[in-house]
Amino acid sequence: MEMALLLLIFLISAILGYKIIKKVPTLLHTPLMSGTNAISGVTILGSLVSTAFSLMFSSKILGFIAIVLATVNLVGGFVVTDRMLKMFKNK
């Protein structure tokens, strides 16, 4: 049941995402890319759960590294996108 639900979520999100992103003009493709790249740091959610519930010490270490890397991706991505977007000025 959960499996089917997740697949459904995947499909709906992909379709909605596709529709919305199609409308972003070329002008903003670099910030769009670095913005969505930041959002792909969402994998932090998986790394938090996985690290917290792991039992082996080695898994804790791997999980810790995963959280750090995902956070770098997330925070860094949002900050560079913000920097870029602030430069786009009208007359």
The footprint of other proteins on residues 54-83 (CB under 8 A) is: 54-56, 58-60, 62-83
Which residue in this structure is represented by tokens 């972003």?
24
Answer whether 38's CB lies under 8 Å from 81's CB: yes
Residue ranges of alpha helices (H) inside the chain are 2-21, 29-39, 44-53, 57-87
Q: Please give the structure tokens belonging to residue 77.
A: 């991505």
Closest distance to other proteins from the beta carbon of 19 (Å): 9
Closest distance to other proteins from the beta carbon of 14 (Å): 4
| Binding-residue total with other proteins (CB under 8 A) | 84
The footprint of other proteins on residues 28-57 (CB under 8 A) is: 28-56
